Amino acid sequence: MTSQETLELRVVHSISEIPKADWDALLGPDDSPFVEHDWLDCLEESGCVGSSRSRTGSPAPLERAGLTRHASGWLASHFAVYRGDTLIAAAPAYLKGNSEGEFVFDWSWADLAQRLRAPYYPKLIVAVPFSPVTGERVLVADGEDRDGLTNMVARAAIDVAGKLGAHGAHVLFPKEKEASQWEAAGYMRRLGVQYHWHNAGYATWEDFLATFNSKRRHQIKRESSQAEKDGVLIETLPPERITPDMTDAMYDFYLSTVDKFSWGRRYLNRPFFELIASRFKRNLSWVVASKEAVPIAGAFNVQKGKRLYGRYWGGRVEMPFLHFNVCYYHGVRHAITHGLEAFEPGAGGEHKRPRGFVPTITHSAHWVENPRLSAIIDPFLENERAAILAFVQSGGEE
């Protein structure tokens, strides 16, 4: 990489300000589908996150009032690094007035800040909205100095946070190496746990079942056969079957879950589902369960390369083990059949472990402006890291 004096870091308030071809040229085959231009653009165009795309003049996201007006609390503030007119690195980033939709929970930090009479919001987040999926957060063009550019963005984020009136900068779900680079730039490192399925070279479903003891194997066989006994057909839709009617059904399934639980939030709207179904079919791997040809449940899965990602699920009826079959067992069967390396079914859920999903470490890194608050959080994170490492090393056994 040429000296940093030749580079320019810009903050743009809509992904549409960066041409799709330029942004996606930074992506490698193993990068998450959720950092693709289309995914981020659909979030903004549908209004699920805020941007300045429909405004003129000085971008409204910088107004403190804008943070309260936008319910999701995500206002686009993307990083773009240029050498001349060439985009060589970028990072999806947002100014936030709350901690909704992040899946790296810091509500207690905000409460502590309030007790210390220290401001915590707004904060700057380098992340993908509503998607707790590990991946590169600083996207770097081939042939460029990835380490140097990541370090540049990590350090610049603190400066940008100050200029935007934010009181912290946080990177969520980076890969382990990138998290270490943010830590070296002055951020506090945090670990989390998700449950992922990894393909150990299974040729068949039976190969997978053979890895369990007889009791657990019997349980999985009983659960996974229930759908067929109930006359339910579960299938992954090919692109040509992702029709407007099916898009409506998938949106209704999504609402059925987020409206059912007290923690549920309608982060996504119908226009987002419609845009994704139109622009992102290449990566959609929607699962639909039908009874007598009528869709009764579904899972919003996304596939790219050798990985399958589970995002949202819902159903119109309550049936035994329907959730497990739609969200887990069908995904594992799909991964085995198509030779995928991993299946990430989403955040949380210790119930996944006895069904073949293993505890997997996730990463984040955090800088908070107030030194008193930072001095309290830092030792907490040290203890938390030790506990999580011990938990994962034990295979998830308490």
Q: What domains are there in the chain, each with its CATH number?
A: 4-192+361-393 (3.40.630.30), 200-340 (3.40.630.30)
Peptide bond preceding 122: is omega within 30 degrees of 0, i.e. cis? Answer: yes
Is residue 106 within 8 Å of 42, Cβ to Cβ? Answer: no
Rounded to 5 degrees, what angle do the CA atoms 307, 310, 312 make? 160
The one-letter code for the residue type at 173 is F
Q: What residues pair up with 233 in beta bridges, in sequence order?
A: 290
Tokens of 295: 């869709």
As given in the structure block, the two tokens for residue 318 are 């309550």
The whole-angstrom separation of Cα 11 and Cα 93 is 9
Query: Residues 278, 283, 287, CA angle at the centre, nearest 5°?
Result: 90
What is the 8-class DSSP label of residue 319? Answer: -
Q: Please list the helix, strand and coil fractions of the chain in percent, rounded to the nearest 5, in that order.
A: 40, 25, 35
Q: What is d(CA 73, CA 325) in angstroms, rounded to the nearest whole number?
A: 34
Backbone angles phi, psi at 56, to 5 degrees: -125, 165
Mean pLDDT by 10 residues, the chain (398 residues): 72 97 96 97 96 52 45 85 97 96 96 97 97 97 97 98 97 98 98 97 97 97 97 97 97 93 86 98 97 97 97 94 97 98 91 94 98 98 97 79
Tokens of 370: 């107030």
User: How far apart are alpha carbons 155 and 211 in whole angstroms?
Assistant: 46
Q: In what order do the strands lie in the sheet with 294-304?
A: 74-76, 93-96, 123-126, 168-172, 358-368, 188-198, 342-344, 307-315, 294-304, 287-291, 232-236
Task: Determine the straight-line distance between the first and last CA of the chain, rounded to whole angstroms.
Answer: 47
Q: Which pLDDT does position 350 carry in this prediction? A: 85
Instruction: Give me the residue label for tokens 């987020």.
Output: 258
Listed residue (127, 122, 130) closest to 171, CA to CA: 127
pTM exceeding the 0.85 threshold for the entire prediction = yes
Q: Which amino acid is at 246?
A: M
In one-letter notation, the amino acid at residue 313 is: W
Q: How far is CA 381 from the centre of its chain?
A: 22
What is the reported pLDDT for 72?
52
pLDDT for 52 equals 73
d(CA 128, CA 382): 25
pLDDT on residue 51: 84
> What stretches of 91-213 show up as alpha helix (H) in DSSP?
107-115, 146-163, 176-184, 205-209
